[in-house]
Amino acid sequence: RATFGDEENDLGRLVENCMMDLLDELDALGTKTAKADLTLAIVEMCRVAQGSVFDDIAASIATHTGSINKQRSTKAGLFATSPGQSSTVASNPTSERFRLAASRALNLYAMDKGNEAGELLCSRLLDLTKDDPIGESAGPRACVWSILTLVKSVCYESANLFGGPKRVGPVPENLEDEYTSLTLSRRQQAVRSSGLAFDVERMFVEKVIVYPHPSEMVDFQRNSVVALLLKVAFKALIENARNVRFSVNGYRQFLVDLEFLKFMIPHYVEDEVLENLLTEAVKCAKERCHNSAMLNEDTEEINQARAAVRDFMAVNDGEEGILNRISIPDEEGD
């Protein structure tokens, strides 16, 4: 005799088989965006499913009783947890399961994009081990600036799904040098950054939570999606940089790459942790530089890298330039 549990298991297997068939069809298409689009579609279905169910129930009750459901306010947001929202909706298991499913799917989407960006960032790290003189840097490498095209596409997809602006603000106008007078205390601290002090400083970076817990509810906003993407990519860069033996010129090219990313990040996302992760990556690279005694003071090395970034941006400005490919236009960003 069939029980409710057996019927539920049969339904689960049916859904799983249908999803596997759908994934096989998406693989047959051979497009990279097919699965990402499916993931975002699942996120949106989970977000609206709970609202549809409760709206139908509330409308049915109101129709048959002639009353209005005053406890639920549509202005509170679909998954709002503010005091203004109905406690019945916020604490309802069905609501929480839909919201958690949407959160997990969105996290998987952001982490998958982050892994893709991390693979790009780390794809040519071994080139920075060569002792051959590279000369003056021509700017960030293609494997570095190309991840910003990925970030740009995620900004568009997330903003189209959740609403809101597609960017934080315009591309910063100027990349100023880091003056010695402003960094004297930092340089003095660098001399003392050894032993316990250095370990404590690194400990804070290592304690950064990159991969969210499955039960953690994500903010359904563009900023949180892009921030998670970049955290995953930068964490991968740090771990891979610890396994590379940088040459002097390789380290300087790495510094140019990361100064460019630091400059561009505020255009897409607002998160202080991202710059800290990139700073940690630079420290790892300097530790792994096999002839670091030939390097100049940190301030001078940074300013040389920023000068290379400024030259790169000047050359690649304009409608056909790289900056136009990676930046979000004014009329669409705000």
> Which pLDDT tens digits describe the chain residue by residue (334 residues)?
455 455 557 767 887 777 777 777 777 766 667 777 778 888 887 877 766 555 655 665 566 555 544 444 443 444 444 444 444 444 577 778 888 888 999 999 999 999 999 999 999 999 999 876 555 568 999 999 999 999 999 999 999 989 899 999 999 888 888 875 544 445 445 544 445 545 555 565 567 788 888 888 888 999 999 999 999 999 999 999 999 999 999 999 999 999 999 999 999 999 989 999 999 999 999 999 988 889 999 999 999 999 999 999 999 988 888 999 999 998 654 5
Angle at 282 between CA 277 and CA 287, to 5 degrees: 125
CB atoms within 10 A of CB 80: 14
What pLDDT score does 194 carry?
47
Whether 69 and 62 have beta carbons less than 8 Å apart is answered as yes
Dihedral sign for Cα 78, 80, 86, 90, please: positive
User: What are the helix (H) ranges across 269-297?
Assistant: 272-287
Q: What whole-number distance in Å separates Cα of residue 104 and Cα of residue 213?
A: 9
Indicate the residue type of 18. Answer: C
Distance from chain centroid for Cα 193: 30
What contacts 162, CB < 8 A, 6 or more positions away?
220, 221, 222
Rounded to two decimals, what is the model's pTM?
A: 0.77
What pLDDT score does 50 carry?
61
Tokens of 330: 């004014």
Indicate the residue type of 97. Answer: R
What pLDDT score does 319 carry?
82
